[in-house]
């Protein structure tokens, strides 16, 4: 999973959500990367026991003209590659 330092490289903010049941280990982790104008989000969700994660990039604002999503996505893919991750589209 990516760390907060990766978000800085991407020019995005970082947050993480862990979910599980009380008294049991975390079963799902989600990292959310948010653009500076809060119009683009990249979410990475991993489940315990799985080597794969689900990645989504989406608009989070009605005004699509705020920020283009493609530069964030390109930087994200570059960071993934530099850390040894592969992306299957």
pLDDT digits (tens, 9 = 90+) for 52-67: 889 999 888 877 678 8
Residue-wise pLDDT tens digits, 18-74: 887 777 766 888 999 999 888 899 999 988 888 888 999 988 887 767 888 889 999
pTM over 0.75: yes
**Contact, 33 vs 23, CB < 8 A?**
no
Note the pLDDT of residue 1: 67
Which structural domain range is residue 69 located in?
4-78
47 part of a folded domain: yes
Considering the domain boundaries, does residue 83 fall inside one?
Answer: no
User: Is 86 within a domain?
Assistant: no
How high is the pLDDT of residue 41?
92
What is the tally of structural domains in the chain? Answer: 1
3-class state of residue 28 by DSSP? strand
């Amino acid at each position: 999973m990516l760390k907060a330092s990766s978000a800085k490289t991407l020019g995005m903010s970082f947050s993480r959500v862990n979910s599980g049941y009380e008294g049991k280990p975390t079963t799902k982790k989600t990292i959310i990367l948010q653009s500076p104008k809060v119009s683009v989000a990249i979410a990475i969700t991993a489940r315990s026991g799985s080597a794969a994660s689900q990645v989504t990039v989406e608009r989070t604002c009605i005004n699509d003209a705020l920020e283009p999503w493609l530069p964030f996505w390109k930087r994200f893919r570059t960071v993934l590659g530099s850390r040894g991750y592969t992306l299957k589209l």
